[in-house]
């Protein structure tokens, strides 16, 4: 997935006219601030936290708000939707979004908050995590178009699982991507996500975190490398990122691991 397939930004607008020019990408707006009253040419409304709008690619929109407003804006490329539709067995004309206003969707909201947390942290989890969120969002957005082709109840075959896990181990200190792992398995990205979790019990990005934590633990116990270098050798973006993941997975800090050795 390209880094332009899914982007997020915090948008703050003053009271008055709010306008959206037509763009080549889809926009999903999540209201995250205080309630804001407003009106468009058709009716009056009250935005509250969690309200969503979809402004499709090539579409403009305009309305008036009575107070300053804060929202998260997800920008979804048309290429991501087209690619996901193809992987789901949907015809190309289904890779579109309809304009919608003030609706609720817990799944979209969850993805938006997860991506925003990643943004605020400086994207420490790299491409693979953003890929996973983008694929999950695209599948969800297109899921109402038509029931996708059934995915086999089994997980990955043994050769597929071996190829994927060996690729992960060989590139653990790099910026892994869902598309590269899907290529290794010979699957679409959406099918890899499903089958990998069935095989391992973990989502792909979480499996990678666990493997990085295990590598970091081994380096802390068996080497004199400084913790900052251990973090980089294990694929973490920095020492604090390693410490957060290690506490979550193992329940201990890097310092406690090293002292235990």
On average, the pLDDT of the chain sits at: 90
Q: Please check the confidence at residue 90 and state whether its pLDDT lies above 90.
A: no
* Residue 260 confidence class, pLDDT cut points 50, 70, 90: confident
pLDDT for the residue 148: 46
The full DSSP string for 222-248 is H----HHHHHHHTT-SSHHHHHHHHHH
Residues 6+ apart with CB under 8 A from 213: 234, 242, 245, 246, 249, 250
* Residue 17 confidence class, pLDDT cut points 50, 70, 90: very high
pLDDT digits (tens, 9 = 90+) for 34-88: 999 999 877 888 999 999 999 999 999 998 999 999 999 999 999 999 999 988 8
Distance CA 246, CA 252 (A): 6
pLDDT for the residue 146: 54
Distance CA 85, CA 87 (A): 5
Judged by DSSP in three states, 251 sits in coil
Distance CA 121, CA 245 (A): 13
Tell me the pTM. Answer: 0.75
pLDDT digits (tens, 9 = 90+) for 116-157: 999 999 888 888 998 899 999 999 999 876 554 455 558 899
pLDDT for the residue 150: 53
Rounded to an integer, the average pLDDT of 157-179 is: 93
pLDDT for the residue 40: 82
Q: Please check the confidence at residue 185 and state whether its pLDDT lies above 50.
A: yes
Rounded to an integer, the average pLDDT of 235-257 is: 93
Which own/partner pairs from 165-168 qualify as long-range (CB within 8 Å, at least 24 positions apart)?
168/207, 168/208, 168/211
Angle at 177 between CA 173 and CA 183, to 5 degrees: 115
């Amino acid at each position: 997935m390209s880094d332009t397939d899914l982007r997020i930004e915090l948008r703050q607008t003053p009271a008055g006219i709010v306008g959206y020019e037509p763009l080549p990408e889809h926009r999903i707006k999540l209201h995250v601030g205080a309630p804001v009253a407003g009106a468009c040419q058709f009716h009056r409304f009250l935005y509250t936290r969690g309200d969503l709008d979809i402004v499709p690619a090539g579409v403009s929109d305009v309305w008036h708000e009575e107070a300053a407003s804060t929202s998260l804006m997800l920008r979804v490329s048309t290429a991501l939707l087209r690619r996901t539709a193809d992987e789901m067995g949907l015809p190309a004309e289904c890779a579109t979004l309809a304009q919608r206003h003030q609706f609720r969707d817990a799944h979209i909201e969850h993805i938006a908050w997860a991506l925003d947390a990643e943004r605020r942290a400086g994207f420490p989890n790299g491409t693979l995590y953003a890929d996973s969120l983008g694929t999950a969002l695209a599948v969800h957005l297109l899921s109402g178009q038509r029931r996708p082709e059934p995915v086999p109840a089994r997980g990955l075959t043994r050769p597929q699982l071996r190829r994927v896990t060996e690729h992960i181990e060989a590139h653990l200190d790099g910026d892994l991507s869902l598309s590269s792992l899907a290529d290794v398995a010979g699957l679409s990205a959406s099918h890899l996500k499903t089958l990998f979790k069935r095989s391992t019990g973990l989502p792909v990005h979480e499996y990678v975190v666990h493997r990085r934590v295990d590598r970091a633990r081994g380096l802390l116990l068996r080497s004199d490398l400084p913790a900052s270098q251990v973090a980089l050798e294990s694929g973490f973006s920095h020492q604090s990122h390693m410490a957060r993941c290690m506490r979550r997975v193992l329940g201990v800090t890097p310092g406690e691991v090293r002292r235990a050795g």
